[in-house]
Amino acid sequence: MSESYKEFLVIRNDKIGDFILIWPALAWLKKNILDCKIVCIISKEVIRLAEYCPYIDDIIIDDKINVLKNKLRNYNFTASITFFSTLKIGYVLKSINIPIRIAPKTKIAQFFYNHRVLQKRSKSLKPEFEYNLDLVDELFQILNIKDIKDADDAPFLTLDYEQSLLYKKEFIEKYKLKEDRKIIFLHPGTGGSSKGLSLDMYADLCRGLRKFDDYNFLIHSSYKDRDIAKDLEEKIRNDVSVNIIQPTNDLSIMMNNINVSDVFMSGSTGPLHVAGALNKKTIAFYPNKKSSTSLRWETINSFNKRFSLTDLNKSRKYITIDMKKSLLEIQRFIGSQDII
Considering the domain architecture, whether residues 85 and 217 belong to the same structural domain is answered as: no
pLDDT tens digits, residue range 295-340?
Answer: 999 999 999 999 999 999 999 999 999 999 999 999 999 998 775 5
Same domain, 283 and 169: yes
HSE on the CB side for 133, CA within 13 Å?
Answer: 17
Q: Which domain holds residue 66?
A: 3-142
Please indicate, yes or no, if residue 60 is contained in any of the structural domains: yes
Closest CA to 155 of 265, 296, 302: 302
Residues 202, 263: one domain?
yes
156 in a structural domain: no
Beta strands in the chain (DSSP E): 7-11, 37-42, 58-61, 79-82, 100-104, 115-117, 183-187, 216-219, 242-244, 263-267, 281-286, 306-310
- Is residue 151 situated within a structural domain? no
Is the domain of 213 the same as that of 123?
A: no
Between the CA of residue 49 and those of 3, 207, 305, what are the distances in Å? Answer: 29, 34, 21
Q: How far apart are CA 143 and CA 172, in angstroms?
A: 51
Sign of CA dihedral 103, 105, 107, 113: positive
Q: What is the pLDDT of residue 192?
A: 60
Mean pLDDT over residues 160-181, rounded?
96
In-domain check, residue 237: yes
CATH of the domain at 110: 3.40.50.2000
**Same domain for 167 and 316?**
yes
Cβ–Cβ under 8 Å, residues 304 and 334:
no
Residue 148 has pLDDT above 90, yes or no: no
125 and 190 assigned to the same domain: no
Say what percent of the chain tops pLDDT 70: 96
* Domains: count for the chain: 2
Statement to judge: residues 14 and 109 lie in one domain: yes
Coil, helix or strand for 313? coil
Angle, CA of 56, 61 and 62, to the nearest 5°: 120
Same domain membership, residue 325 and residue 179: yes
Main-chain dihedrals φ then ψ at residue 182, nearest 5 degrees: -65, 150
In a domain, 87, yes or no: yes
Asked if residue 39 has pLDDT above 50, the reply is yes
Q: What is the pLDDT of residue 289?
A: 87
Q: Are 307 and 176 within one domain?
A: yes
Closest CA to 218 of 279, 269, 176: 176
Give dist(CA 198, CA 204) in Å, integer: 10
Quick one: 251 and 166 in the same domain? yes
**DSSP SS3 for 200:** helix
Higher-scoring residue by pLDDT: 85, 281: 281
* Residue 340 is assigned to a structural domain of this protein: no
Same domain, yes or no: 116 and 167:
no
User: 279 pLDDT exceeds 50?
Assistant: yes
- Is 35 inside any structural domain? yes
- The pLDDT score that the predictor gives to residue 5 is 63
Q: What is the pLDDT of residues 44-78, one digit of tens each?
A: 999 999 999 999 999 999 999 999 999 999 999 99
- In this structure, the answer to whether residues 102 and 228 fall within a common structural domain is no
Q: Which residues of 148-165 are buried (b: 16+ CB within 10 A; e: fewer)?
A: eeebeeebbbeeeeeebe
Classify residue 121: in a domain, yes or no. Answer: yes
